[in-house]
Amino acid sequence: MHDPVICLDENLKVIFANEEARNITGLRQDEILGKYTQELAERNDLIRSLLQDLMAKESENNVKPEPIRIYADNKEGYFEKEILHISITPTGEKTKQLIGHVIILRNITEHKELDFAKTNFIATVSHEFKTPISSIKMSLQLLEKDEIGKLNEEQRNLIHSINDDATRLLKITGELLNMTQVESGNIQLSIFPADLKEILLYAINATKTQADQKQIQFEINCPDNISNVQADNEKTAWVLTNLISNAIRYSYDNSIIYLSIQQAKNQVQISVRDTGQGIAPQYKDKIFDRYFRVPGTKKEGTGLGLAISKEFIEAQGGRITVESEFGAGSTFTLTLNKTT
Query: Is residue 296 very low, low, confident or very high in pLDDT (cuts 50, 70, 90)?
Result: low
* CB burial string 250-282: b at 16+ within 10 A, e below: bbeeebebbbbbeeeeebbbbbbbbbbbbbeee
Q: How confident is the model at residue 59 (pLDDT cuts 50, 70, 90)?
A: very low
| Residue 32 burial (C-beta neighbours within 10 Å; 0-12, 13-18, 19+) | buried
Query: Given pLDDT bands bounded at 50, 70 and 90, which one contains residue 258?
Result: very high
| Residues 218/259, Cβ–Cβ less than 8 Å | yes
Do 77 and 20 contact (CB within 8 A), yes or no? no
Determine the pLDDT at residue 214.
92
Average pLDDT over residues 136-155: 85
Q: Is the pLDDT of residue 243 over 90?
A: yes
Position 11, amino acid? N
Q: Is the pLDDT of residue 171 over 80?
A: no
pLDDT of residue 186: 66
**Choice between 307 and 56, residue whose per-residue pLDDT is larger:** 307
Are 81 and 50 in contact by the 8 Å Cβ rule? The answer is yes
Cα separation of 157 and 213, whole Å?
Answer: 17
What is the structure's pLDDT at 75?
A: 72
Confidence of residue 52 (pLDDT cuts 50, 70, 90): confident
Burial of residue 130 (CB within 10 Å: 0-12, 13-18, 19+) is middle
As its CATH architecture, domain 5-107 has: 2-Layer Sandwich (3.30)
Average pLDDT over residues 302-309: 80
103 pLDDT above the threshold of 80: yes
CATH superfamily of 191-337: Histidine kinase-like ATPase, C-terminal domain (3.30.565.10)
* Assessment of whether the complete model's pTM goes beyond 0.85: no
- Round the average pLDDT of the chain to a whole number and report it: 84
The closest of 249, 268, 262 to 329, measured between CA atoms, is 249
* Region 118-139 average pLDDT: 80
pLDDT-derived band at 61, boundaries 50, 70, 90: very low
